[in-house]
Structure 1
């Protein structure tokens, strides 16, 4: 009887202790900082990783880069245009989405917009009956490429400045002229309505669109356009990823990502309508090719809004400008292309690679061949891991083991960002000769200039981190979270590879 009573008391005490510990754990978890979390469409967008940018329009025929809004639509006349060739080139590169400049800063529309006469309808292309936005959408849907449009509401030279007799330049000069244009309240309101109506056409007439590159979103002084534009987009296509409130640029057009990097940000005014606010260690970089978004923002681990980082690649994939220029638009070597992948996707961001069609309306052979070689190389490197873990692990220590010891030199980590980004510092170890030893990282990006990190170590992970490490022969590695901004680490995937050096690729 006594033994029974003692046993019963022990069980009761154990249950009480367990209940207390559970409540204590709940209290601790309740005190943890709340993290921003990505939406379902933001997670899907991050998983696309590589996109293709198609800069095409009147500029290809005038030699301009940004368009002054005064060149005649009659100069737009591609004779061999094939949107399917664009899309197939993008897919050979490994792109999951494509983005066409349906209306760049000069104001020329690649669809027969009812808002202006500055459109493809007044060009010789298909005797004025062409609609390149539709051709692009059809090609993307036929070949399974996610659809993106480029449009910029705050920069439309033809609409905003066609009445102005001065020279329409770029950077400070051009922006000052836009400011002059906007001083006229009646013209300012008309300008805004044209931009909203164009967006309504694009997001109503072509079915579901997956992504919109809204260049210069939130540019200071243009809130009167971007705030209602943001609301209109959410109303018309709530499932579309809209650059600005849902994605952001890295501060350059060279394919560099700041590291460590947080997807969560605080904004200038605390609302979704403004750009990321700086932290104390953030900076403004030197003007990169007239880029207005030259603020380098590391994000904030406890920021209110989630914005996927997406890197543009004007100075990373080929020479020349965004638009094709004869004898200038030539690809860089494969080694630079692979390096671009490691320093963008490999640091947790998307990369959108420019594939500018020429005046025939085709992606030039040199660019198309380079795009396929890049895609083939990335597939060769990352399609067949030595070992992988594909189930979410909620733990600060995660091991991956395989049967036979093999040499490895690359570890790919993915954080389970469904519940936010929390890992701030980690370590990787390999089991060698019966004991654990640190994997020494050898990430090195010689082209990176401050504030971009030449030697990113083991800090943030986010969507993905590709760590190059000193070669080691092992059959087991271990991830250890050393610092989290909120609770236990969550790992979505671990993969190990043995990749060839890429520095000598031609």
Structure 2
């Protein structure tokens, strides 16, 4: 009998052993499968979490009325009389911004720091008798008040350096492009231009400590590979922890605060390398040129794309009237309702948004913009600081529930995906437990200004970093998220929040 009992035990142990091995094999297979999803870097996740940034367009253009800069206006015109970088930063913080970005050198070529690469700088202006350094003032103010530091610089567009040989009027667009093409037929001029751009970037990324973000306008512009490719490598060498627009973030195809939806952060690129822009999918398109914009391709991304690029929305048309730079009697804020709508259609669709706060000829953000920025920040904080209920811990599973004690009316659900393991959710629904049964929460995410290819009524498809869903109100004490389609594996939900808000379209 003992012999048979021992034999039976051996059979049981063998069964358990091989069952465990099979389970381990299946888990390993799942892990290997999930590895096909590209994942954001730590700094890209942090950048997504910043959500809102402040853009400070300031420079010689403020004193000439230009937007792009023709490189012909003399530095002697640059003379702000009351510049206060701390006022800029405090305005940004009141808006809820986590980072600020200053145009230390815009397309015209005028440098807001005393660069040794060119004479077209603040050192040859009346500001502080030529001894000023606004880049430093900005960096110091950001660090003093806890704002992440960002610079704007565009290596492929420097009119002063590229076209200093040209004596005529230089406009924006095809005329300028053709003149630059002529200029760069001269090999020595082309090489000098490249060295100036690399030299400026080296100054910016070595003389001011850690820089957190760089808006590299027109990164990867076709025909400028000789500048952008070595520039991308130089940036990675000098500031590996900095988020660099181009290889690590990308624009949505407009400057009006619109995000394509559904939207994937993963992309494939034109040539399959990190040096080029996102490649189109079969249903992607280009839109009408928005304010001379060069990046007007609308890219939905690709769920199995090779590179992760956080979507970042430029939003000057959506926050105030006028151009990027301050213009007297033109730069006026839009109503609060438009600002809140901007937040819902950018951050609420998984993107980061950078809002323009242009300083005026004094060197101060105008009072009207200061007031509007604070009202916006206060309203977003008021809305999203006190959820009816909240799930804070990461939950893995295609069904995730959130419940609370007493039934309450709700009309907004915020979801965050755990993008550290990739963006997976391709279709989902939200349900509420009402009168003893689960019923679908009907989405009402309406954005009137969105025209094709932008979705003016997003439903339940991608989540990414964050999705804010407005729904038809219900009274309930329990909701659940159900993933209906995943790119790979089960869903991973980082956070669920439930709210009840009054409509924002009546805000003035």
Q: TM-score range by the shorter chain?
A: over 0.9
Aligned to 2:317, the other structure's residue is in SS state coil
Task: Give how far 1:25 is off.
Answer: 4.3
What's the counterpart of residue 138 of structure 1?
A: 140
Residue segments in structure 2 that go unaligned for 5+ positions in a row = none
Task: Give how far 1:4 is off.
Answer: 7.5
Task: Give how far 1:11 is off.
Answer: 5.1
Task: Give how far 1:174 is off.
Answer: 1.6
Aligned to 1:335, the other structure's residue is in SS state helix
What's the counterpart of residue 109 of structure 1?
A: 111
Task: Give how far 1:26 is off.
Answer: 3.1
Q: CA RMSD in A?
A: 1.3
Q: For structure 1, which segment, 2-11 or 194-203, has the greater mean C-alpha deviation from structure 2 after superposition?
A: 2-11
Structure 1 residues 433 and 6, CA, compared in 2 at 3 Å: closer, same or farther? farther
Task: Give how far 1:166 is off.
Answer: 2.9
What's the counterpart of residue 215 of structure 2?
A: 213
**Cα distance in 2 for residues equivalent to 1:302 and 1:98:** 32
Aligned to 2:150, the other structure's residue is in SS state strand
Alpha carbons 2:274, 2:307 under 8 Å: kept:
yes
- Aligned with 1:348 (options 343, 347, 350): 350
**Does the alignment pair 1:391 with 2:384?**
no
What's the counterpart of residue 189 of structure 1?
A: 191
- Kindly provide the CA deviation profile for residues 200-243 of structure 1, in whole angstroms up to 9, marking residues without a partner as x: 00001111100000000000000000000001101111100000
**Cα distance in 2 for residues equivalent to 1:262 and 1:255:** 17
**Cα distance in 1 for residues equivalent to 2:469 and 2:35:** 28
Task: Give how far 1:177 is off.
Answer: 1.6
Alpha carbons 1:52, 1:90 under 8 Å: kept:
yes
Task: Give how far 1:13 is off.
Answer: 2.7
Q: For structure 1, which segment, 400-409 or 248-257, has the greater mean C-alpha deviation from structure 2 after superposition?
A: 400-409
Matched ranges for 1:276-425 at <5 A: 276-425=278-427
- Kindly provide the CA deviation profile for residues 450-489 of structure 1, in whole angstroms up to 9, marking residues without a partner as x: 1000011110000000000111111111011111111111
Aligned to 2:427, the other structure's residue is in SS state strand
- Aligned with 1:503 (options 483, 491, 505): 505
Task: Give how far 1:172 is off.
Answer: 1.8
Aligned to 1:270, the other structure's residue is in SS state coil
List 4+ stretches of structure 1 deviating above 2 A: 1-33
**Does the alignment pair 1:100 with 2:102?**
yes
Alpha carbons 1:112, 1:131 under 8 Å: kept:
yes
What's the counterpart of residue 49 of structure 1?
A: 51
Task: Give how far 1:3 is off.
Answer: 7.1
Task: Give how far 1:31 is off.
Answer: 4.3
What's the counterpart of residue 228 of structure 2?
A: 226
Task: Give how far 1:32 is off.
Answer: 5.1
Aligned to 1:425, the other structure's residue is in SS state strand
Alpha carbons 2:30, 2:489 under 8 Å: kept:
no
Q: For structure 1, which segment, 3-12 or 372-381, has the greater mean C-alpha deviation from structure 2 after superposition?
A: 3-12
What's the counterpart of residue 272 of structure 1?
A: 274
What's the counterpart of residue 59 of structure 1?
A: 61
Alpha carbons 2:267, 2:279 under 8 Å: kept:
yes
What's the counterpart of residue 428 of structure 1?
A: 430
**Cα distance in 2 for residues equivalent to 1:226 and 1:29:** 36
Task: Give how far 1:298 is off.
Answer: 0.4
What's the counterpart of residue 452 of structure 1?
A: 454
Aligned to 2:247, the other structure's residue is in SS state coil
